[in-house]
């Protein structure tokens, strides 16, 4: 709640701390290479919602080197493959919110959202109750996804 209550312009990226932590499971870190990493979104839109980030903290694509851009987009595809194998979704939402005005909750660290989707997976809860009901605990889903992430290395 401390992070959520902090004004947007004073929030620091939690992602660097995740990279420096030895506890991958506690941080829901599924994959890392020299230029990018994949982790589960702690506040998901849908079960299986992954984030794909460059290792280097940047705010926009033009700050990335060519190699960083290539590896980042390869990791977006890797995240999609992990979800396809582990969860068999019927579709995906994949995108970037660049800047706070575009909806980036953590605008200081560019990241992609890879969200698996199924026909009929939305209901009245997000609209009426302003909450999302997830069918599985994050740690349980992490354990389900991890073997597929490790096979991608």
Task: Provide the annotated active-site residues.
Answer: 111
Supply the Cα-derived Rg of the chain in whole angstroms: 15
Short-list 90, 93, 77, CA closest to 38 = 77
Q: Tokens 């990279």: give the residue.
A: 19
Q: Tokens 């992602």: give the residue.
A: 15
Torsion angle, alpha carbons of 87, 151, 140, 71, to 10 = -80
């Amino acid at each position: 709640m401390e992070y959520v209550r902090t004004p947007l312009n004073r929030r620091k990226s939690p992602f660097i701390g995740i990279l420096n932590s030895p506890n991958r499971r506690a941080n829901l870190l599924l994959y890392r290479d020299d230029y990018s990493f994949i982790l589960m979104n702690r506040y998901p839109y849908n079960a299986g919602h992954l984030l794909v980030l460059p290792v280097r903290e940047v705010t926009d694509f033009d700050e990335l080197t060519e190699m960083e851009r290539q590896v980042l987009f390869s990791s977006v595809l890797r995240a999609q493959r992990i979800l396809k194998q582990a969860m068999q979704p019927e579709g995906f939402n994949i995108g970037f919110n660049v800047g706070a005005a575009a909806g980036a909750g953590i605008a200081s660290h560019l990241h992609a959202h890879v969200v698996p989707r199924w026909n009929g997976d939305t209901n009245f809860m997000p609209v009426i109750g302003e909450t999302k009901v997830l069918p599985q605990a994050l740690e349980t889903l992490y354990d389900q996804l991890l073997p597929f992430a490790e096979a991608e290395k």
